[in-house]
Chain A
Amino acid sequence: MSIELDDVENIAHLARLDLTGKEKEEAASSISNILNLIDQMQSVNTDDVTPLAHAFDAVQRLREDKVTETNQRDELQKIAPETDQGLFLVPRVIE
C-alpha cells in the first residue's frame, strides 16, 4: 500500500503538523515503505482471534472517588509558556 501527497497533507492536518513540500514528499515515500512492512500482517487469517489491547488482558483498577492531591496550580504553571492570573494563555479563539 502506498500513500500520496494529499493523504500526507490530510494526516498531517489531523495530527496538527505543518510540513514543508520536501518533508511531505519524504513522508509519502517513507510512510509508504512502512505501510508495506505493516501489510505483512494481512498474510495471516485472524478472523477468530480476539484483539489483545493489554499484554495481560488487565482491566482498569478502580478506586474510591476521594481527593488525594493537593492544589499545585502555581507550581505547575511555572513551566507554562504563558499564563495570567492562574490561567493558561493561548492566541485569541473568539473574535
Chain B
Amino acid sequence: MSLLDIRNLSLSIHGAPILHEVSLTLARGDILGVIGESGSGKSMTAFATMQLLPEGAVPEGEVLLDGVDILSRSEREMCQIRGRDIGMVFQEPMTALNPLKTIGDQVAETVLLHEKVSRGVAQERAAEALTRAELPPEKFPMSRYPHELSGGQRQRVVIAMAIALRPKLLIADEPTTALDVTTQAQILTLLKKLVKEDGMAMMMITHDLAVVADMADHIAIMQKGRVVEEGPTAQIFRQMQHPYSKALLAASTHAPERSDESQEDPLLEVRQVRRTYTLPAKKLFGARRQIEAVKGVSFTLKRGESLGLVGESGCGKSTLTRAILGLEEVQSGEILLDGEPVFTGHKPNDVVRRKMQVVFQDPYGSFNPRHKVARLVAEPFHLTPDVPRAEREDRIAEALTAVGLTPGDAHKYIHEFSGGQRQRIAIARALITRPELILLDEAVSALDVQVRAQILDLLADLSKRYGLSYLFISHDLSVVRTITDRVMVMKSGEIVEEGPTEQVFDTPAHSYTQALVAAAPRLPDDVAA
C-alpha cells in the first residue's frame, strides 16, 4: 500500500478553482518529483497534504496518509501530524529559521512539541538530527545562531528540523532554488541519502526538470491545477506524451538561435580593477577590517559579443557589475566603455553611461510600484536630456513593441503585468537610450522555464537587430551556456578561467570550473524532446 494517496483532490480559494482532481500516489522510500511552473498548483498540493491552506480554501477529495484521511482531521489533530508524520523543507533558508534562537534549540523544539521528553533528551535528539543532516555538533556547535551559517548550512538545519522525528513523509518545496549550484548538489545528495536511510517518502516540488531527473523515482507534471502527466522518471523522459510536458522539456533545453557577431574592436575594457570594502570596527577605536571583493580583474568585451560571467554568491560578480555601471568607484584600475572611462575624477560620466543599461533579476522589485509603465521605461532618458519630449513618446512605443508588448501598455501600472512581462518591460527600459551594452544581472533566473526561453529568444533577436553586446552575469550555467559566445568564471574576486563557452563547459581547465560543471543538475542524455 502506498504511503501517501491523494485522490481526486480539488481545491478552490474564495470560489476560484486552484486544483482540479489531482491524484498522486507515493510509496515508502520513493521520491516523487512534482514539477510545474508558477501557478500550476504544485505548492498548493503540498500545502493541502499538510492542511496548511490559506483562508477561504475549500478542499474536496481525499488525502490519505498511511490510510488516515488528512482532510477530515481537526487543526488540533493536524498539529500532531505535522512535524511528526510529515516534515517540510522550505525554499528560503533565510526566512525559515528564527533568527533569535540557536540552531540546537530550533531542532530540539520540534522534538519537545511532539514527545514528552526532557530538554536534555531533546537536545540529544537534535544533535543526532543535525549530524544526520551533515552538520555535526562537533564542527558546528548547537549554540550557533542562523546568521552565523551559510545558506547551504541553514538549509541543513531546516532539513534537520524536518527529519528530527523521522517522519514518514518529507515534503521539500523548491529546497535548492535559493542555493548555489555546488551547494544545491550537496543538498540534493543529502536528501537522497536521508530518504534511503529512513525509508521515508519524499515529495519534491520544483520548477526545474533537471533537478529531479536523477533523483526522483516518479514524476508528476502539473499545469493549471491539473496533473497532465505522471509516471516513472525514466519513462517520462523517454516517452513524454502530453504536449505541455514536451513544451516544458523543450523550454528547459532551449537554446536561442544566434550567431557570433563579435567584432575585433573592444567595447568594454576592464583593467586591473580592485574594490575593497572597509568593514566597521568591531571595537570602538579598533582596527577596521578590509574585505577585498574584487582583486584585480581584467577582461575585454568585444563589440557585438555576448560574454558570460559565472560565479557563486559572494564571488564578487555583483560588486564588479556595480563598478562597471558606475554606481561605485573602484580603488584602482580602469573601466573603459568605448575607449572612455566610466568614472572621470570622482564622478560617473553620464555621456559614457548612456551607452550601457542593465536588467536586474527580480521582476517584482525592479519597478517603482507607483509609476506607470511609460514613466518607468522613460527613466533612462535622464542620461540623454537631448532627446526632445516629442520624440520620447515614440521611443517608448518603439521599445515596448521591440520587446513584444504593445504601445498601449505604457499607460498601465506595473502590477498589471506577469513576471515575464515585467522582465520585458525591464528590457524595454534598458533599450530606451539605444545603448550598445546591456548588463544582464541574473536577468532570467527568477522566471519560469517557458518564459525564460522566450526572454532568451528575445535577447538573441534584439542583439541581432540592434547590434547589442551583452554581459550576462549569472550563477546558472545552463542559461549562460545557451546565450554566450565567451564565458568567464569568477571565484573569490578573481577570474579563474576564461574562454569560448563550449570549450569552458566541455573541457574545464580550472578545478573550480570542473566542480561547477559537475555540480550542475543535468537532464538525462537520451531524452526524447
A is bound by B:
no
